[in-house]
Amino acid sequence: MADFDYDVLVIGAGPGGYVAAIRAAQLGLKTACAESRETLGGTCLNVGCIPSKAMLHASEFYEAAASGEMNKMGVKVQPELDLDAMQAQRLETVKGLTGGIEYLFKKNKVDWLKGRASFVDAHTVEVAGKQVKAKNVVIATGSSVTPLPGVTIDNDGGVVVDSTGALELASVPKKMVVIGGGVIGLELGSVWRRLGSEVTVVEFLDQLLPGMDGEVRKEAGKLFKKQGMALKLSTKVTGVAVNGKSATVTVEPSAGGAAETLEADVVLVSIGRRPNVDGLALDKIGIAVNGRGQIETDHDFATKVPGVWAIGDVIPGPMLAHKAEDEGIAVAENIAGLTGIVNHDVIPGVVYTFPEIAGVGLTEEAAKEKGAIKVGKFPMMANSRAKTNHEPDGFVKVIADAATDKVLGVWCIASVAGTMIAQAAQAMEFGATSEDIAYTCHAHPTHSEAIKEAAMAVKGKPIHI
Ligand code: FAD
Ligand code: NAI
């Protein structure tokens, strides 16, 4: 340690970085974490996972009351929206959780270096004008919104916004156009639709949610339409003109054709995110990013420069908080000389709409390309708990290898799909067959029984359909 201030310096305090820092400190390494934001927790806690779920949860209550859903269950209410209060509870939640990371840093003796970090050399990083030397540096700088060429995002103006601006709107837009029918567009589009906006989603491809199972994508499209979202699939945006407090969005078919215009009070740009590497001075340490702007690493999360590691959204793989967190634990363990592993074949993904949409492993399309498969399906309509709760939409699909019966992928659309998918991920991590799931006793009445019945359908028949 003689020449170093720290064993480990982590750049970025998002779910990748703060978890890596805490685990490194737990393993006895002297650790610091540089963060340029005012608060810890990164995109996820400040402007991502947590505030979006705060708004999704609150708006779900509002819609259940406003749509008459609660009245149907004998709870008579006439709701009144207090958007300021809804926003205040979002901010309160964020404050609590980001403050919690500050507490964990103190508890684990992780030094928080406040400021933007940039490399001087592979073991020297400048933070707020001060040089810090570390034996190991972990790059965990995350990602930011991908801009749409020709479209200026102005969150303060509140007309053309990214996800951060869309979380903070001061009033419910009458009309909202969402550019990009991916995870952010559907989650935040759902929030404002539930609160009263007319939402139109413009998606370049012929289905929503690229990367998910084909049947799930189709069903998701049907459900969002049924909820009142207008979907313009196979459509591209060619221009956005801001006229004071509103905007005109020009769109045309992705394959070319006649243009049309859409009027909006708010336009949300959600066409993906790109890694944060600007200002890191990676050139000084000889790291070049790949064609997608990502830093490449090996399975241990080591870059090609000894002592420099990278994790989370800034490296290849799904841009998900839990993927970043697991990589944070693994990189710290690898630095400490232990064996840190992340199984990138089993990373669940969840869209927190209503119903939730979740998957883990291969899609049916990808599994078919690899060999013969068997698929079992079960509709939520036939699940007693979903039916009791008036949540009939969705299904579960279990995809297994035809020869070995090993589970290759599980997909769910269900009110609590995000919770259900954990058991599928665990089963796959343990190398389970569909029979293993089918013969596991599931508590009744639970939504998870639909996973058991879909697994039963792989080789035989479920009971309840
Ligand atoms: P980040 O969380 O992006 O953290 C990186 C941090 O590094 C930032 O705080 C940044 O300020 C800091 N930083 C960058 N450069 C420097 C520098 N040079 N010096 C110092 N600090 C620096 N994922 C889920 O799994 N579930 C969800 O429900 C979910 N919801 C989301 C909702 C929205 C609206 C958005 C935008 C994202 C959501 N995500 C969700 C994605 C999730 O937020 C990211 O995958 C996750 O935050 C990535 O973690 P990270 O640690 O790699 O980076
Ligand atoms: P995304 O990649 O999920 O979706 C972007 C969508 O925009 C795609 O459907 C794409 O085809 C479409 N698109 C791209 N260019 C377009 C154009 N010019 N016109 C119209 N459509 C266009 O990206 P999104 O929604 O911005 O989210 C970014 C990341 O954040 C995702 O990778 C996701 O992993 C993460 N995230 C995760 C959440 C979760 O886990 N629940 C919630 C929110 C974000």
- Check which CATH number belongs to the domain holding 60 and give it: 3.50.50.60
Same domain, 288 and 267: no
Largest CA distance in the chain: 70
Pairing of strands 6-11, 31-35: parallel
Interval between CA 319 and ligand 2 midpoint (Å): 10
In a domain, 154, yes or no: no
Residue list, ligand 1 pocket, CB within 6 Å? 11-17, 34-37, 42-44, 48-49, 52, 116-117, 140-143, 163, 184, 276, 279-280, 312-313, 319-322, 324, 352
Which of 38, 44, 278 most suits a substitution to test ligand 1, by most atoms within 8 Å of the C-beta?
Answer: 44
Tokens of 394: 């969705």
> Does residue 59 form part of some domain?
yes
Query: Residue 153 domain-assigned?
Result: no
Residue finishing a domain among 271, 290, 323: 271
- Domain hosting 387: range is 349-457
Any known ligand binding at 187?
yes
- Same domain membership, residue 36 and residue 113: yes
Question: CB atoms < 10 A from the CB of 36, how many?
Answer: 17
Ligand 1 closest atom vs CA 13: 6
143 CA: nearest ligand 1 atom: 3
Does the beta carbon of 183 lie inside 6 Å of ligand 2?
yes
192 assigned to some structural domain: yes
Q: What is the pLDDT at residue 2? A: 59
Question: Using alpha carbons only, what angle is made at residue 283 by residues 281 and 288, rounded to the nearest 5 degrees?
Answer: 115
Task: Clarify whether residues 327 and 265 are in a common domain.
Answer: no
**Residue 152 is assigned to a structural domain of this protein:** no
Q: Are residues 202 and 265 in the same domain?
A: yes
Interface pTM, i.e. ipTM: 0.99
Please indicate, yes or no, whether residues 304 and 418 belong to a single structural domain of this protein.
no
353 and 321 inside one domain: no
For residue 187, report the distance from its CA to the centre of ligand 2, in Å: 10
Q: What CATH number is attached to the domain comprising 363? A: 3.30.390.30
Pocket residue to mutate for ligand 2, from 43, 184, 250, 313, most atoms within 8 A of Cβ: 184
280 found inside a domain = yes
Q: Amino acid letter at 324? A: A
Q: Is 344 part of any domain?
A: no
Query: Is 53 marked as a binding-site residue?
Result: yes
* Beta-sheet strand order (sheet of 395-401): 349-351, 356-361, 407-414, 395-401, 373-379
Indicate whether 132 and 187 sit together in one domain: no
pLDDT at 33: 99
Are 299 and 182 in a shared domain?
A: no
Give me the pLDDT at residue 453, please. Answer: 98
| Rounded-to-5 percentages of helix, strand, coil across the chain | 35, 25, 40
Contact 256, 250 (CB under 8 A): no
Same-domain check for residues 140 and 198: no
Task: Return per-residue pLDDT of the chain as tens, 465 residues.
Answer: 658 999 999 999 999 999 999 999 999 999 999 999 999 999 999 999 999 999 999 999 999 999 999 999 999 999 999 999 999 999 999 999 999 999 999 999 999 999 999 999 999 999 999 999 999 999 999 999 999 999 999 999 999 999 999 999 999 999 999 999 999 999 999 999 999 999 999 999 999 999 999 999 999 999 999 999 999 999 999 999 999 999 999 999 999 999 999 999 999 999 999 999 999 999 999 999 999 999 999 999 999 999 999 999 999 999 999 999 999 999 999 999 999 999 999 999 999 999 999 999 999 999 999 999 999 999 999 999 999 999 999 999 999 999 999 999 999 999 999 999 999 999 999 999 999 999 999 999 999 999 999 999 999 999 999
Indicate if 43 and 124 belong to the same structural domain: yes
Confidence at residue 28, expressed as pLDDT on a 0 to 100 scale:
98
- Does 465 reside within a domain? no
Does 211 appear as a known binding residue? no
Round to whole Å and give the CA distance between 102 and 110: 9
Question: How many domains does one find in the chain?
Answer: 3
Annotated catalytic residue, options 57, 299, 444, 447: 444
**Same domain? 289 vs 264:** no
